[in-house]
Chains A and B, each alone.
Chain A
Amino acid sequence: MTLAAPPTSVEKYAAAFESLSDSGTPDWLIATRLQAWANFSELGIPTARRGNELWKYTNLRPLADAGFEYGQIGPVSLDQIKSAGPWDDAWDTVVVVDGNFSAQLSSLNGTPGLTAGSLGEAIAAGTDNLESQFASLAGRENYAFTALNTAFAADGAYIGIAADTRLTTPVHVVFVTSDPTSSRATYPRLLISASSNSSLTIVESYINLSESSQLTVPVTEVFSDHDSQIRHYRIQIENEKSFHIGTARVNQKAGSSFTSTSFATGALIGRNDVHTQLDEPGAECTLHGLYMTSGQQQQDQEISTTHARPNCTSHQFYKGILSGKSHAVFSGKVVVERDAQKSVANQKDLNLMLSRGARIDAKPSLEIFADDVKCAHGATAGHVDRDTLFYLRSRGVDEETAKAILIRGFADEMLDEFEPAALREFVERTTDDRIATLLAESDTLGTV
């Protein structure tokens, strides 16, 4: 189905696209960009919600109506980055400012077996497999935002890990939006290539040094070769006027394991769209996430997994805490193809509602075409329990503190998933700050 593209939403991006320089860009990439632009021109920003399953619950009208300039602004200091997001001096850190790799801000330790740095440079250097990998998972399908990102693809971060290399120290990729006075669009791009039998921990964070409304449209492609292990974390803490429409596409070969844990509390409209393709037997993926929304925020988790081959396992488990007049969406999908016997798939989305004005649309779904499978799904929306609150208060804890304890208790199960110590410390601190805001916007739901 082709949706009629509202011409105005495309025109706003056309001048920037025309202004892109092709110099030094390989022909295959220029062709990919042109094709992506053609796709985006046809699709436009998806504002039609009726009959559009992917955007049924999230209204992109504010994004379509806004205008964004394009181009790098900077400058950004390391101190700003360190104080805005998670940080550990021991990590290999790749910093990407407004979509472009910054050698100056990055700190790379020359870890053997690890290639980490500029995606643009990796492309120019003709890195193995990159031409066939790039945009093969995201950018050629009929999806407006991967098309938009791919149309502007020039740089970003590339993380490659050699076969049999097993790293325990995390690699951190920080995507920073600098501090412009006007509204800018950036198109961060990350490509992760884990060779066979490798092991990698990667933290992907999005921070926003601006206080004005920004548009960030990131695309991450992950290639997990056979028997590789990737532990991936995604931190989205952009400012609450901004739009963050992120996409990750993961392809997993035999016996590989991909675990991703998302922490999404930022942006006015935030979207985390993840698809994992279990492409060969014995692959396993675990997708976790915690989202917290307040005010007028919308947080949208679009999570899907395809079991293409037998003996694969997938877990989707998300938790949400909602307050104010905010809105969250969990749309979880698992497809088990006919050939994918002995599949195991679980989906769960649990939400804690702190105000009457908050809204959750939770839609776990399973499409099963194989007959020998074990699948389960569930979703709940509850509020702070009166009995529990009375129990805590009867021991001397005041109502606000009791609520904060209960909310933190609800979040803890997800926070436990953030293993690297500096990351764990960051998400705990950020969660505690967020809980204070959420509580300030909570109402009589669940009072004694």
Chain B
Amino acid sequence: MLEIKNLRVSVLDIDDSEILKGIDLTVKTGEVHAIMGPNGSGKSTLANVLMGRTEYVITEGDILYDGESIIDLLPEKRAHLGMFLAFQYPAEIPGVRPWQFLKAALDAKADSRGEEKMSIRDFSKLFDEKVEAVGINPQLVKRSLNEGFSGGEKKRNEMLQLEVLQPELAILDETDSGLDVDALRIVAHGVNSMRSPERSFIIVTHYQRLLNYIKPDVVHILVEGKIVKTGGPELALDVEKDGYKQYTSVGASA
């Protein structure tokens, strides 16, 4: 599904700004991977680069999606392929209603794949179902996208979009940050209910606690732009117990 090969990434137009220093990672169809790391390790950068954010420049390596390189594709093209990024800080968009925006997104995807667009009636039905499933206040989605939403409501809204767009690879960028336990459960429920042999997830997180609710197949520890350790779910528990220090250059030499 996704292969990241020796990926090196810097910030555009800034010298000596290398953030990712040779990442190798393979996510197979149906797998859930967790990428854990301390602040500043580059995990959010990785999530954004996968989705095509162009403030970053790839200096070396490649990203393959279903065997094809996607590093020259625009963000919208990656979405059409089936990729999805749930944002750490979803943008507030005044005047844009979630319904209208999601319909536009689905239409664009259908267009690009040469599929028939969903009728307004069918879409409406789907939307209402998903609103209920995600437990988002129906009044809220009639208003501007994310405007005045609480942190939890924004995350629910990200889950709503995930449910409606039904991506094949969903990347969650610190979706758990700033969430209370109830909201965490909602995110976890969203992911778990969508988990299937045809869908993969990459869950980027600082803390282990989300992984209490979503059991990953593989856990990677990302430190200082490199994956320093890969293992099973038990790896997350080690982090919980001993922190990241054991993996940092300072910590390791200490």
Expressed in whole angstroms, the Cα–Cα distance for A411 and B95 within the complex equals 8
10 A-B interface contacts by CB (under 8 A): A388-B93, A391-B87, A393-B79, A394-B78, A396-B109, A397-B101, A397-B108, A406-B96, A412-B94, A413-B95
Known contacts A405-B101, A448-B53; A397/B91 CB under 8 A: no
In angstroms, Cα B77 to Cα A399, docked, is 11
Q: Does B76 contact A (CB under 8 A)?
A: yes
**B-contacting residues, A368-411, CB 8 Å:** 385-388, 390-399, 401-402, 405-406, 408-411
Q: How far is the CA of A391 from the CA of B144 in the complex (A)?
A: 15
Q: A397's contact among B76, B84, B85, B95, by CB below 8 Å, is which?
A: B76
CA distance A30 to B74 in the complex (A): 68
CB closest residue in chain A, given B92: A388
Instruction: State in angstroms the CA–CA spacing of A399 and B87 once bound together.
Output: 18
Of listed B54, B90, B96, B112, residue having the most chain A CB within 10 A: B96
CB–CB A408/B80 < 8 A: no
Across-interface contacts of B94 in A (CB, < 8 A): 409-410, 412-413
Give the complex CA separation of A10 and B115 in angstroms. Answer: 65
A410 to B75, Cβ gap below 8 A? no
Q: Which of A385, A408, A412, A413 contacts B91 (CB 8 A)?
A: A385
The answer, yes or no, to whether B51 is at the interface (CB within 8 Å) is yes
Per-residue 0/1 for B95-110: is the Cβ within 8 Å of any A Cβ (1 yes, 0 no)? 1100011101110110
Q: Given A393-B75, A396-B109 in contact, is the A388-B104 Cβ separation under 8 Å?
A: no
Cα–Cα, bound, A384→B108 (Å):
21
Contact across chains for B91 and A387 when beta carbons are under 8 A apart: yes
Report chain A residues within 8 Å CB of B108.
396-398, 401
Interface hits, A398-432 → B, CB 8 Å: 398-399, 401-402, 405-406, 408-413
Q: A391-B91, A396-B76 are in contact. Are A409 and B51 (CB under 8 A)?
A: no
A interface residues (Cβ-Cβ under 8 A, vs B): 385-388, 390-399, 401-402, 405-406, 408-413, 448
- Docked Cα-Cα span, A101 to B50, in Å, equals 65
In Å, the complex CA distance between A402 and B96 comes to 11
Q: Smallest distance from the beta carbon of A158 to chain B beta carbons, Å? A: 38
Q: B106: which A residues are within 8 A, CB to CB?
A: 396
What residues of chain A lie closer than 8 Å to B52, measured between beta carbons? 393-394
The CA of A15 and the CA of B220, in the complex, are separated in Å by: 86
Chain A residues positioned under 8 Å from B27 (CB to CB): none
Q: Which residues of A contact B104 (CB under 8 A)?
A: 397, 401, 405
Considering the complex, give the chain B residue whose CB is closest to the CB of A388. Answer: B91
Asked whether any CB of chain A lies closer than 8 Å to the CB of B25, the reply is no
Contacts of A387 in B (CB 8 A): 91
Which of A391, A408, A413 is B90 in contact with, Cβ under 8 Å? A391
Instruction: Name the residue among A398, A399, A412, A413 with the largest chain B CB count within 10 angstroms.
Output: A398
List residues of B (45-88) whose CB comes within 8 Å of A's CBs.
51-55, 74-76, 78-80, 84-85, 87
Whole-angstrom distance from the CB of A141 to the nearest CB of chain B? 39
* B161 beta carbon closer than 8 Å to chain A: yes
Given A387-B91, A391-B90, A396-B165, is A405 in contact with B79 using a C-beta cutoff of 8 Å? Answer: no
Considering only CB atoms, which chain B residue lies closest to A448 in the complex?
B54
The answer to whether A409 and B80 have CB atoms under 8 Å apart is no
Chain A residues near B87 (CB, 8 Å)? 391, 394
When distances are taken between beta carbons in the complex, the residues of chain B under 8 Å from A401 are 104, 108
Contact assessment for B75 and A394 in the assembled complex, using a CB-CB cutoff below 8 Å: yes
Docked complex Cα distance between A257 and B213 (Å): 57
Residue of B whose beta carbon sits closest to that of A393: B75
Of the candidates A390, A393, A410, the one whose C-beta lies within 8 Å of that of B95 is A410
Interfacial chain A residues near B101, Cβ < 8 Å: 392, 395, 397, 405
Q: Residue of A at shortest CB range from B144? A: A409
Give min CB distance, B160 to chain A, whole Å: 12
Collect the chain B residues with CB atoms within 8 Å of residue A408's CB: 95-96
A404 to chain B minimum Cβ distance, whole angstroms, is 10
Bound CA–CA A448/B51 (angstroms): 12
Cα of A405 to Cα of B99 in the assembled complex, Å? 12
Question: Which residue, B53, B55, B104, B144, has most C-beta atoms of chain A within 10 A?
Answer: B104
B75, A412: Cβ atoms under 8 Å? no
